[in-house]
């Protein structure tokens, strides 16, 4: 029996699909199931039981003996939300309760951290645990993820295996419900379909030309492969980056989306909104050597291959993973 929190969300539902592919069908799906727009993410998936997010700990206290693994993917991920109490409840305190039960009940744990913890990248993008207390996230969401990472590292009592994953810019199927928080590739596709062109933010940094701002974009199929690897590996506990390991420009992203649609690129630039300009990241790139060092050998999708698969097999058809 495997628990997935955030089961109806983007990464959580893709993870359930991956687990089902591996014949893990006794899945306990934990989420707030009151959002009908997320329901399609779970259609056709093999799930043993749905448990409401607020009922989960009572459920776990009664059923822990049957649980083999917990993937804690659920979180409030809205980077524009500034109510810190929401993040304190859902991202910090909730995660602490899961952590402590994994210790008490001897359950291994993988949880979602975030590259948002790196802020503007003043200290780089190395998953060096000694640097984590010095990181300066740019918003309450990033703060909440970093706060839990720091807390986890400080604990004398830990699950017998645990891993925190700093997700970089994840894109791919099952993000239809995310609205403005969906990936840039999702928004690029829909903007091209609607207007035939794509508007990118102009650079306000003299070191970067317009559209040459860079991010580490990682395909969700690679993310769930790493999750599966860690479930089977169960050694080398710690906090790990999870990106592609290669920064790419927004121009690359837009041009590849046009290409996947069989269209010539039509790209314009607009000013970055003044209210986010001072917190805008011009470069992110995951150092993936730590995950590689514990034996993860699979290749990550290139941006070209990931966009082609996403656009051709999912976005263009309205398909889910």
Among the listed residues 141, 171, 240, 314, the single catalytic one is 141
Q: What's the average model confidence in pLDDT over 244-271?
A: 97
What percent of the chain stands above pLDDT 70? Answer: 98
pTM tops 0.85, yes or no: yes
How far apart are alpha carbons 23 and 46 in whole angstroms? Answer: 9
DSSP notation for 175-195: -GGGGGGS-HHHHHHHHHHHH
Q: Is 73 marked as binding a ligand?
A: yes
**Cα(302)–Cα(100) distance, integer angstroms:** 38
- Report if residue 212 sits inside a domain: no
Q: How many domains does the chain have?
A: 1
Cα 290 to Cα 16, 74, 129, 237, distances in angstroms: 25, 24, 11, 11
Q: Is residue 12 part of a domain?
A: yes
Structural domain of 291: 2-172+217-245+285-301
Known catalytic residue at 178: yes
Give the separation between CA 130 and CA 138, rounded to whole angstroms.
20
CA–chain centroid gap for 281, Å, is 17
- Is 79 inside any structural domain? yes
**Angle 242-112-164 (CA atoms, 0-180°, nearest 5)?**
70
Active-site residue among 45, 136, 178, 199? 178
Whether residue 167 lies inside any domain: the answer is: yes
105 lies in some domain? yes
- Is 180 annotated to bind ligand? yes
| Residue 202 marked in a binding site | yes
In which band, very low, low, confident or very high, does the pLDDT at 87 lie, cut at 50, 70 and 90? confident
- Please say if the pLDDT value at position 259 is more than 80: yes
Torsion of CA 230, 233, 238, 243, to 10 degrees: -40
Alpha helices, DSSP H only, in the chain?
Answer: 10-21, 56-63, 84-87, 94-104, 140-154, 184-195, 220-233, 250-260, 274-277, 289-293, 303-310
The answer to which of 32-46, 82-96, 202-216, 301-315 has the lowest mean pLDDT is: 82-96
* Dihedral in degrees, nearest 10, Cα atoms 48, 113, 91, 303: -70
The answer to whether residue 79 scores a pLDDT higher than 80 is no
Is residue 18 assigned to a domain? yes
CATH of the domain at 166: 3.40.50.720
Percent of the chain residues topping a pLDDT of 90 = 90
- The verdict on whether residue 215 carries a ligand-binding annotation is yes
Distances (CA, A) of 321 to 23, 183, 185, 307: 16, 16, 16, 15
Q: Is 233 part of a structural domain of the chain?
A: yes
């Amino acid at each position: 029996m495997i628990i997935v929190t955030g089961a109806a969300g983007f990464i959580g539902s893709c993870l359930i699909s991956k687990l089902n592919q591996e014949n893990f069908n006794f899945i306990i799906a934990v989420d707030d199931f009151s959002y009908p727009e997320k329901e399609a993410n779970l259609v056709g998936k093999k799930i043993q039981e749905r448990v409401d997010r607020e009922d989960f700990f009572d459920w776990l206290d009664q059923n822990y003996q049957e649980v083999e693994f917990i993937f804690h993917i659920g979180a409030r991920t809205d980077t524009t939300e500034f109510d810190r109490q929401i993040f304190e409840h859902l991202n910090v305190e909730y995660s602490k309760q899961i952590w402590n039960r994994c210790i008490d009940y001897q359950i291994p744990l993988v949880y979602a951290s975030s590259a948002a913890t790196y802020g503007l990248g003043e200290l780089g993008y190395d998953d060096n645990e000694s640097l984590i207390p010095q990181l300066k996230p740019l918003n309450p969401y990033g703060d909440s993820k970093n706060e839990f990472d720091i807390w986890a590292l400080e604990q004398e009592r830990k699950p017998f295996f645990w891993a925190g994953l700093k997700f970089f810019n994840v894109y791919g199927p099952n993000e239809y419900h995310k609205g403005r928080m969906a990936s840039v590739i999702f928004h690029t596709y829909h903007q091209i379909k609607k207007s035939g062109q794509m508007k990118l933010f102009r650079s306000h940094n003299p070191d970067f030309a317009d559209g040459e701002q860079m991010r580490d974009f990682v395909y969700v199929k690679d993310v769930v492969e790493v999750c599966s690897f860690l479930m089977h590996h169960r050694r080398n506990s710690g906090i790990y980056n999870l990106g592609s390991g290669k920064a790419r420009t927004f121009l690359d992203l837009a041009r590849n989306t046009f290409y996947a649609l069989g269209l010539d690129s039509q790209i314009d630039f607009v000013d970055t909104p003044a209210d986010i300009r001072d917190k805008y990241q011009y470069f992110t790139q995951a150092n993936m050597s730590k995950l590689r060092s514990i034996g993860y050998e699979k290749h990550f999708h290139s941006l070209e291959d990931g966009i082609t698969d996403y656009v051709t097999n999912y976005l263009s058809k309205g398909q889910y993973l």
